[in-house]
Amino acid sequence: MEEVTGAQLVAEALKSQKVEFMFGIVGVPIIEVAMAAQAAGIRYVGMRNEQAACYAASAVGYLTGRPAACLVVSGPGLIHALGGMANANMNCWPLVVIGGSSDRNQETAGAFQEFPQVEACRLYSKFSARPSSLEAIPSVIEKAVRTSMYGRPGSCYVDIAGDMVNAKVSRSNVRDVSCCPPPPVSLADGTAIKEAVSVLRAAERPLVIVGKGAAYGRAEEALKELVEVCGLPFLPTPMGKGVLPDNHPNCVAAARSRALLQADVVILLGARLNWILHFGLPPRFDPHVKVIQVDLCAEEMGNNVRPAAALLGDISATVSQLLEFVRKDGWTFPSNAAWWSTLREKMAANAKMTKALALQSAVPMNYYTVFHHISQLLPQDCIIVSEGANTMDIGRTMLHNYLPRHRLDAGTFGTMGVGLGFAIAAAAVDSSQGKGQRVVCVEGDSAFGFSGMEVETMCRYNLPVIIIVVNNNGIYSGMDAETWSEMSKMGDLTTVAPPVTLLPDARYDEVMSAFGGRGFLVRTAEELREALQLSLSDRERPSLLNVLIDPSSDRKQQEFPWLTRSNL
């Protein structure tokens, strides 16, 4: 009679649920699980910190719509992964974390790395459980995979006791659990659709907001039709960028503040009215704005603003319902409306200001010059990963996305340290799909530091990621080398150095070359262009461009600070 181990059951169950990737770090008690995963045909990517492994797994979920697994050891291993679980849950991305834990017969005895793991994960997940027996493993894993994708996507946790990993059971005693189908699709209520259409038809200043839910929901085709058939201006959220191309004539991203402030009707597609959208409230929105809210999560309806129409359903399906109505009577928003002139005027003024900053030729460079040159060289189909403060904010406005799900960033939770894990995930997915799209990871120097050792992971697997560190010697801002050295004469650095500072001119490029990747130190626009072109031509190895910029470079004057303190 054929026997199977717990490790095999975990791996085979994941594979039957079409989990194609596993990221993790092995150790007692889960080494055999990683080996069994490889034997089952799952791609296993060994990382250097569980947090980065968990970020990577969650990005696969977002990019493919099917969760990846993150495999971690007990106690501290699992705790390191909590950041990734929280980040996935906040972003509404599917993820399955598999954690080894101490042997069941040592529980409460002070076992090695003993920790209440199932309880600990509850706050960071939709589902957290431990199979009660080897036989129960396939159904618990199916439930975790299904729960991670169905309803509002999020993270799930499955705990595997150490003694279960190598224990054996007869295969004939284990029930086969077939692969769960993709999430069922729901349509919005017909009355709500009618209401939405009547609100939209009365709009003088309509605005479509495209969130990362629209990207995750693969709503690009329906949305393109809506925007083009109705002639509506649209604004992507950070990760909603690319669902419709940033260079689409109806994209009003360059007039973001004005569009939000003056819109009288907002069609909110897969975005939450949280801090990213300034809660949908004054001073950033009109107090009387009417919101047509589309979301698959009923509890989301009415958060911060009571919607004029609540369309509960899948975005793609719901937008098609809207289109059907609008098509019937041929309504379109007039292209000669005053609203368009208001938006276009603001966009032109912003473009002019940005261009002036971008064309400055001073060395060290400012952010705008750096992004101007990068944007000229990046291929349109590249996946842009970005994190940092100014680096992410300015980069978002200057680096265009042309395809859906081709931008990954700090997201809803504002997490720093996600970049390298996300980039590894995107490169691994690309390599499995054979598309040959480049992954470009644009990092602030501080953001890079959180998971910098994952450069070794990129080198080990020959993932040709291009990391661009926009290095201003600090968090928000830094100091030049000369000022730093003056300051170190003033006393103990731990008492005199501003907490925002990092080592001036740190050689992050040498971290990459230490592992066999290509490292470039870049100070001028010419050096930047040359290094980026060389990196793009190398499809075998990762590169890191360490771009030293003016440590006092800042954003152009903003109408509102990025973190608006609305009165709720």
Binding site for ligand ADP (CB under 6 A): 91-92, 152, 211-213, 216-217, 237, 239-240, 270-272, 274, 276, 295-297, 300, 314-315, 412
Query: Half-sphere exposure of residue 34, counting CA atoms within 13 Å on the CB side?
Result: 20
Minimum CB separation of residue 474 from Mg ion in Å reads: 5
Distances (CA, A) of 446 to 84, 433, 544: 18, 32, 15
77 three-state secondary structure: helix
Interface with Mg ion includes 445 (CB under 5 A)? yes
Minimum CB separation of residue 490 from Mg ion in Å reads: 23
322 three-state secondary structure: helix
Q: Which is nearer to ligand ADP, 100 or 240 (CB)?
A: 240
Minimum CB separation of residue 219 from ligand ADP in Å reads: 7
Binding partner of 117, given Mg ion, ligand ADP, none, CB within 5-8 angstroms per partner class: none
Q: Which is nearer to ligand ADP, 237 or 386 (CB)?
A: 237
Minimum CB separation of residue 256 from ligand ADP in Å reads: 13
Residues forming beta bridges with residue 43, ordered by sequence position: 21
The residue within the footprint of Mg ion, chosen from 472, 535, 543, 553 (CB under 5 A), is 472
Binding partner of 444, given Mg ion, ligand ADP, none, CB within 5-8 angstroms per partner class: Mg ion
Interface with Mg ion includes 504 (CB under 5 A)? no
Q: What are the phi and psi torsion angles at 55 (to 5°)? A: -60, -45
Q: What are the phi and psi torsion angles at 180 (to 5°)? A: -75, 140
Q: Which is nearer to ligand ADP, 136 or 323 (CB)?
A: 323
Instruction: Kindly report the number of other CB atoms within 10 A of residue 151's CB atom.
Output: 15
Nearest to 85 by CA among 54, 61, 63: 54
Interface with Mg ion includes 8 (CB under 5 A)? no
Binding partner of 375, given ligand ADP, Mg ion, none, CB within 5-8 angstroms per partner class: none
Binding partner of 216, given Mg ion, ligand ADP, none, CB within 5-8 angstroms per partner class: ligand ADP
Q: Which is nearer to ligand ADP, 117 or 293 (CB)?
A: 293
The residue within the footprint of Mg ion, chosen from 138, 280, 307, 444 (CB under 5 A), is 444
Contacting range for Mg ion; rule: CB under 5 A; set: 34-42, 111-119, 222-230, 464-472: 464-472
Whose tokens are 């996935």? That residue is 88
Nearest residue to ligand ADP, by Cβ distance, number only = 213
Nearest to 380 by CA among 561, 245, 214, 217: 245
Minimum CB separation of residue 400 from ligand ADP in Å reads: 17
List, as one string, the DSSP characters of 507-529.
-HHHHHHHTTSEEEEE-SHHHHH
**How many residues sit close enough to Mg ion to count as binding (CB under 5 A)?**
4
| Integer Cα distance of 424 and 429 in angstroms | 9
Q: Which is nearer to Mg ion, 16 or 472 (CB)?
A: 472
Binding partner of 472, given ligand ADP, Mg ion, none, CB within 5-8 angstroms per partner class: Mg ion
Binding partner of 297, given Mg ion, ligand ADP, none, CB within 5-8 angstroms per partner class: ligand ADP
Cβ atoms of 169 and 135 within 8 Å: the answer is yes
Please name the residue ranges forming H helices in 42-136. Answer: 50-64, 76-91, 117-122
| Integer Cα distance of 204 and 200 in angstroms | 9
Give me 67's structure tokens.
């969760």
Q: Which is nearer to ligand ADP, 71 or 92 (CB)?
A: 92
Q: Which is nearer to Mg ion, 160 or 416 (CB)?
A: 416
| Integer Cα distance of 325 and 196 in angstroms | 10
Interface with Mg ion includes 51 (CB under 5 A)? no
Minimum CB separation of residue 476 from ligand ADP in Å reads: 22
**Strand 3-5, strand 168-170: pairing:** antiparallel
| Integer Cα distance of 444 and 547 in angstroms | 10
Minimum CB separation of residue 199 from ligand ADP in Å reads: 19
